[in-house]
């Protein structure tokens, strides 16, 4: 009787852990997308230029990227529960401080505090969830954990639009405080207290290589502003790549590295990481282009744009749950390949139709198909890449996935911005150097006259994400083959 009940008990325990960490992780993707909608109002409120207020987002991302590399060590040293609770507490305190900001510098500084907390949240959450679940149940558990990652960015714009239209901008950040407090209470109550290992050494050389590399790459891509040949962008990106290469070499020759880069030699882990770089970079860049099309080319408000994206969030959430359960029962490559094929078809069909007068009844279903595919791809891939790792390797595996996702998203977003700026400059030479910013300053009637050219520019830029997703499909078919015994060996 006991033997039969054990799997069920373990499953319930893993579900409790997953739902508990979701209470904290939901704030992170929501916060990023809500703030993106609020940048223009914040610039007016703080009497700051848009380039200055952009550091509200850039400063947060910079802080987040800088601390992610240390997450694996912190989790092993202090325990995943302690790291998760401390990160949520810091993020919540940062949110309260941001809401009290009195000018642009204080707003940016407090956002950096948020970022320092946010960088530790997902690696610790993934470690807690993966360790709590039996290997055969990790797909289902990760599908729960993935809801905020995919659904949050879609729900952020309508939520941000509603808050800005109905309340003060300060509520965008204050809403995190009660959520954070509930997450802390649930975490202290439900998360397993696994002691850390004080003997785990910190790879200081690795940290001094990887943390600045992440920061420089984020800064470089943020400063691209439509032109990757600008020295302000080229220099930090170049230095970041040099430091990143130095870190990889160091990690391969060090007994106890900051991150176990050798894990990427395991087919499932390395192939899954490469697939995620291509697919996540492509998918998250669409979340910039789609709202731009609706708001700039079609003249919709932020709230209306968000409402048009709600069906995508619903289908993404359903898709995550179905695929997460399937991956524990059928060969993962079937689920992942099907998901990528749906995403390529959906976003490819959407791109083909992009025009100033395209019917929403035709466009939105293709977006829904695309997000359905994304839901069936990203979390199953993360699960495949990490579920067979030994417990001691899970912090490194989950942290590497987060590091690579952050880099892929930053680089692809910059590349899409460069393509879009180039297309706008070629089609609308009368615009200034600010491109999208100049368009948003035009009257509705003036934007309407330029809508066909703007739609064509967005369409051209959209082919990069679609191509990256198609590349991910090739990786799934060629690299994620059925596992052999050698693939189960972790280093």
* Residue ranges per structural domain of the chain: 11-196, 203-257, 261-479
How high is the pLDDT of residue 284?
84
Confidence band for 434, pLDDT divided at 50, 70 and 90: low
Of 176, 159, 169, 158, nearest to 46 by C-alpha is: 169
Q: How far apart are CA 47 and CA 56, in angstroms?
A: 14
The string of pLDDT tens digits covering residues 251-292 is: 898 888 888 888 888 888 888 889 989 998 899 888 778 887
How high is the pLDDT of residue 51?
61
How high is the pLDDT of residue 40?
63
Q: Is the pLDDT of residue 18 over 90?
A: no
How is domain 11-196 classified at the CATH fold level?
Answer: Growth Hormone; Chain: A; (1.20.1250)
How high is the pLDDT of residue 227?
58
How high is the pLDDT of residue 436?
61
Give the mean pLDDT of 297-309: 78
The string of pLDDT tens digits covering residues 119-132 is: 899 888 888 888 88
Choice between 10 and 16, residue whose per-residue pLDDT is larger: 16
Of 354, 341, 308, 302, nearest to 461 by C-alpha is: 354
Confidence band for 4, pLDDT divided at 50, 70 and 90: very low
How high is the pLDDT of residue 296?
79
How high is the pLDDT of residue 199?
80
Q: How far apart are CA 180 and CA 24, in angstroms?
A: 6
How high is the pLDDT of residue 229?
64
Choice between 481 and 454, residue whose per-residue pLDDT is larger: 454
Q: Which segment of 138-152, 311-325, 388-402 scores lowest on mean pLDDT? A: 138-152
Q: Is the pLDDT of residue 334 over 80?
A: yes
Distances (CA, A) of 309 to 98, 289, 305, 355: 28, 12, 7, 18
- Is residue 34 within 8 A of residue 60, CB to CB? The reply is no
Give the mean pLDDT of 323-341: 85
Q: Which segment of 121-135, 313-327, 391-405, 434-448 scores lowest on mean pLDDT? A: 434-448
The string of pLDDT tens digits covering residues 151-196 is: 666 667 677 777 777 778 888 888 889 999 999 999 999 898 877 7
Percent of the chain whose predicted confidence (pLDDT) is above 90: 21
Ranked by mean pLDDT, the top range of 234-238, 339-343, 452-456 is 339-343
Confidence band for 478, pLDDT divided at 50, 70 and 90: confident
Choice between 180 and 218, residue whose per-residue pLDDT is larger: 180
The string of pLDDT tens digits covering residues 73-104 is: 898 889 889 999 999 999 999 999 999 988 88
Confidence band for 330, pLDDT divided at 50, 70 and 90: confident
- Is residue 403 within 8 A of residue 119, CB to CB? The reply is no
Ranked by mean pLDDT, the top range of 10-14, 271-275, 341-345 is 341-345
Give the mean pLDDT of 390-408: 80
Tokens of 176: 């995190």
Tokens of 347: 């976003």
Ranked by mean pLDDT, the top range of 328-332, 362-366, 386-390 is 362-366
Q: Is the pLDDT of residue 8 over 70?
A: no
State pTM to two decimals.
0.78
Same fold, 11-196 and 261-479: yes
Give the mean pLDDT of 396-406: 80
Q: Is the pLDDT of residue 50 over 70?
A: no
Q: Is the pLDDT of residue 437 over 80?
A: no
How high is the pLDDT of residue 6?
39
Give the mean pLDDT of 110-124: 89
How high is the mean pLDDT of the chain? 81
> The domain 261-479: what is its CATH number?
1.20.1250.20
How high is the pLDDT of residue 93?
95
């Amino acid at each position: 009787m006991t033997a039969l009940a054990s799997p069920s008990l373990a499953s319930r325990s893993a579900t409790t852990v997953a739902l508990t960490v979701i209470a904290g992780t939901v704030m992170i993707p929501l916060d990023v997308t809500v703030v993106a909608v609020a940048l223009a109002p914040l610039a007016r409120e703080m009497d700051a230029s848009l380039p200055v207020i952009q550091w509200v987002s850039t400063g947060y991302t910079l802080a987040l990227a800088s601390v992610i590399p240390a997450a694996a060590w912190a989790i092993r040293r202090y325990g995943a529960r302690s790291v998760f609770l401390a990160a949520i507490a810091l993020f919540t305190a940062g949110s309260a401080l941001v809401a009290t900001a009195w000018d642009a510098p204080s707003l940016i500084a407090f956002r950096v505090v948020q970022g320092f907390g946010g960088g530790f949240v997902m690696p610790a959450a993934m470690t807690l969830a993966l360790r709590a679940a039996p290997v055969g149940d990790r797909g289902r558990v990760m599908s729960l954990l993935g809801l905020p990652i995919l659904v949050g960015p879609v729900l952020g714009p309508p939520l941000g639009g509603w808050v800005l239209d109905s309340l003060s901008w300060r509520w965008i950040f204050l809403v995190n405080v009660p959520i954070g407090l509930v997450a802390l209470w649930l975490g202290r109550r439900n998360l397993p207290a696994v002691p850390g290992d004080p003997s785990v050494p910190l790879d200081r050389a690795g940290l001094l290589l990887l943390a600045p590399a992440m920061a420089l790459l984020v800064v470089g891509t943020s400063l691209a502003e439509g032109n990757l040949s600008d020295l302000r962008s080229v220099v930090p990106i170049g230095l970041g790549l040099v430091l990143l290469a130095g870190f990889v070499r160091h990690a391969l020759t060090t007994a106890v590295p900051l991150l176990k880069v050798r894990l990427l030699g395991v087919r499932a882990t390395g192939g899954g990481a490469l697939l995620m770089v291509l697919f996540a970079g492509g998918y998250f860049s669409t979340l910039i282009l789609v709202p731009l099309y609706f708001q700039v080319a079609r003249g919709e408000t932020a709230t209306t744009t968000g409402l048009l994206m709600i069906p995508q969030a619903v289908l993404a959430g359903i898709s995550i749950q179905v695929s997460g359960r399937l991956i524990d029962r059928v060969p993962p490559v079937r689920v992942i390949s099907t998901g990528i094929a749906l995403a390529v078809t959906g976003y490819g069909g959407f791109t083909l139709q992009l025009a100033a007068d395209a019917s929403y009844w035709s466009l939105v279903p293709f977006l829904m198909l695309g997000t359905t595919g994304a839901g069936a791809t990203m979390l199953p891939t993360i699960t495949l890449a990490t579920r067979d790792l030994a417990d001691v390797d899970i912090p490194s595996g989950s942290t590497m996935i987060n590091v690579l996702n952050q880099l892929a998203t930053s680089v692809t977003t910059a590349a899409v911005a460069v393509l879009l700026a180039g297309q706008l400059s070629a089609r609308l030479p009368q615009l200034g150097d600010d491109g999208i910013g100049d368009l948003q300053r035009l009257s509705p009637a003036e934007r309407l006259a330029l809508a066909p050219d703007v739609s064509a520019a967005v369409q051209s830029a959209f082919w990069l994400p679609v191509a990256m997703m198609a590349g991910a499909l090739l990786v799934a078919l060629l690299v994620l083959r059925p596992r052999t015994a050698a693939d189960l060996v972790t280093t």
